[in-house]
């Protein structure tokens, strides 16, 4: 059963089509790369599917739940937004336990989940330190842990490696690679290497339109390389 299904999903701002008729499906275990230059519509896609924005037209389901039921969808997804903020004075552990409590977990259960997730993202030894002492990469990993506290069926990560140095990027990619295999992961990026390293499937967007979709190997086989596919399907320059 598809964990995401979008049909003709569109978002218009005045005369501008931020997203224009996106149709695709994703399955459990897919790591879906949403690839495209700045302004392609990646964040808009994630905001629509996570019910932060309402579409202009089109329909979708996430985790089998129709888009008309945003409260139910929010229970079943995890999100790392494009520019996530964190309470600097809390510790990583406090932050995650609080997030788990918000999803209705008991105090004890919240502690168990928080400890496990902090270990999973490699922050186990910094759980008691204030978030203000974390590097940008550590905050991003905390944000990924935060996106997992409710055992989501679908996890959305919007440019998770943006602004990180190569070592930080590698740590994030390793973390994503180890996410639960039964969840669907949607990862937006404008960096090809991330898609090649962790994604099973790719959607290439440019100026709101879907230019290509399919398993990585098929996209690569068709164009010679992912980079050739990307360059021939997009104008690369960014359109903002």
Ligand X SMILES: Nc1ncnc2c1ncn2[C@@H]1O[C@H](COP(=O)(O)OP(=O)(O)O)[C@@H](O)[C@H]1O
Show Cβ contacts of residue 155 under 8 Å, excluding neighbours closer than 6 positions.
77, 78, 79, 80, 147, 148, 179, 183, 184, 185, 186
Three-state SS for 130?
Answer: strand
Q: How far is the CB of 132 from ligand X (least distance, A)?
A: 28
Tell me which residue has its CB nearest to Mg ion.
Answer: 43
Q: How far is the CB of 143 from Mg ion (least distance, A)?
A: 15
Cβ distance to ligand X smaller for residue 120 or 236: 236
Q: Tally the C-alpha atoms within 13 A of residue 189's C-alpha that lie toward its C-beta.
A: 26
Binding residue count for Mg ion, defined by CB under 5 A: 2
Q: Considering only residues 3, 10, 43, 189, which one is a binding residue for Mg ion as defined by CB under 5 A?
A: 43
Cβ distance to ligand X smaller for residue 13 or 225: 13
Q: Which residues bind ligand X (CB under 6 A)?
A: 13, 16, 18, 36, 38-44, 240
Q: How far is the CB of 172 from ligand X (least distance, A)?
A: 18
If one counts every other C-beta atom within 10 angstroms of the C-beta of residue 163, the result is 11
**38 binding partner (options Mg ion, ligand X, none; Cβ < 5 to 8 Å by kind):** ligand X
Stretch that binds Mg ion, among 41-49, 96-104, 123-131, 142-150 (CB under 5 A): 41-49
Distance of CA 50 to the CA centre of its chain: 10
Check: CB of residue 131 under 8 Å from CB of residue 90. Answer: yes
Q: How far is the CB of 157 from Mg ion (least distance, A)?
A: 11
**145 binding partner (options ligand X, Mg ion, none; Cβ < 5 to 8 Å by kind):** none
Cβ distance to ligand X smaller for residue 36 or 67: 36
If one counts every other C-beta atom within 10 angstroms of the C-beta of residue 118, the result is 24
Instruction: Retrieve residue 44's tokens.
Output: 């808009």
Cβ distance to ligand X smaller for residue 96 or 229: 229
Q: How far is the CB of 197 from Mg ion (least distance, A)?
A: 20
**107 binding partner (options ligand X, Mg ion, none; Cβ < 5 to 8 Å by kind):** none
The β-bridge relationship of strands 57-62 and 77-80 is unpaired
Check: CB of residue 212 under 8 Å from CB of residue 40. Answer: no
Stretch that binds Mg ion, among 34-42, 68-76, 96-104, 118-126 (CB under 5 A): 34-42
16 DSSP β-pair partners: 13
- Assess 50 for contact with Mg ion (CB under 5 A): no
**Closest by Cα among 206, 21, 222 to 214:** 222
Widest distance between CA atoms in the chain: 53
Check: CB of residue 25 under 8 Å from CB of residue 5. Answer: yes
Residues interacting with Mg ion, by CB under 5 A?
Answer: 42-43
């Amino acid at each position: 059963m598809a964990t995401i299904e979008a049909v003709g999903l569109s978002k218009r701002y005045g005369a501008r089509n931020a997203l224009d008729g996106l149709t695709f499906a994703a399955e459990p275990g897919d790591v879906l790369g949403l690839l495209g230059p700045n302004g392609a519509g990646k964040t808009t896609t994630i905001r629509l599917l996570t019910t932060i924005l309402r579409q202009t037209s089109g329909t979708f389901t996430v985790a089998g739940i129709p888009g008309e039921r945003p409260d139910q969808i929010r229970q079943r997804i995890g999100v790392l937004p494009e520019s996530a903020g964190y309470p600097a004075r809390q510790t990583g552990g406090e932050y995650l336990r609080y997030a788990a409590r918000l999803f209705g977990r008991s105090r004890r259960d919240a502690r168990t989940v928080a400890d496990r997730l902090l270990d999973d993202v490699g922050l186990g030894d910094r759980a008691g330190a204030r978030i203000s002492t974390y590097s940008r990469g550590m905050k991003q990993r905390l944000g990924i842990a935060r996106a997992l506290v409710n055992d989501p069926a679908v996890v959305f990560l919007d440019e998770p490696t943006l602004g990180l140095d190569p070592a930080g990027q590698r740590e994030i990619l390793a973390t994503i690679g180890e996410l639960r295999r039964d969840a669907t992961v949607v990862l937006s990026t404008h960096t090809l290497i991330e898609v090649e390293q962790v994604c099973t499937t790719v959607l290439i967007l440019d100026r709101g339109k879907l230019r290509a979709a399919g398993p990585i190997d098929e996209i690569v086989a068709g164009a010679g390389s992912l980079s050739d596919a990307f360059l021939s399907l997009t104008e690369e320059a960014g359109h903002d």
